[in-house]
Amino acid sequence: MLDKFGSEYLVHFYSAVFIPNMICMSTEFAQFRDMHNLMKNKKNSEEIDIKIPVKMMLDSSK
């Protein structure tokens, strides 16, 4: 089902492997992971340009 979703705003799903008691999924690399981690970890790294979270919010609202 996940392979049917295609959008430039979603990470690409490649495959899944089912092992007893475990599901392994292979997806496209997401450079910034998600907005929560990006904002939470900005204290530990250099300041984030406000354009990145704003672009992520605008993209996710489409």
Helices of type H across the chain: 35-40, 51-60
Distance CA 28, CA 47 (A): 26
pLDDT of residue 14: 75
pLDDT of residue 37: 72
pLDDT of residue 35: 66
Q: Containing domain of residue 12, as a range?
A: 2-60
Tally of structural domains, the chain? 1
| pTM of the predicted structure, to 2 decimals | 0.39
pLDDT of residue 56: 72
Per-residue model confidence as pLDDT tens for the chain (62 residues): 555 666 666 677 777 888 889 888 777 777 766 666 766 766 655 556 677 777 777 777 76
pLDDT of residue 27: 76
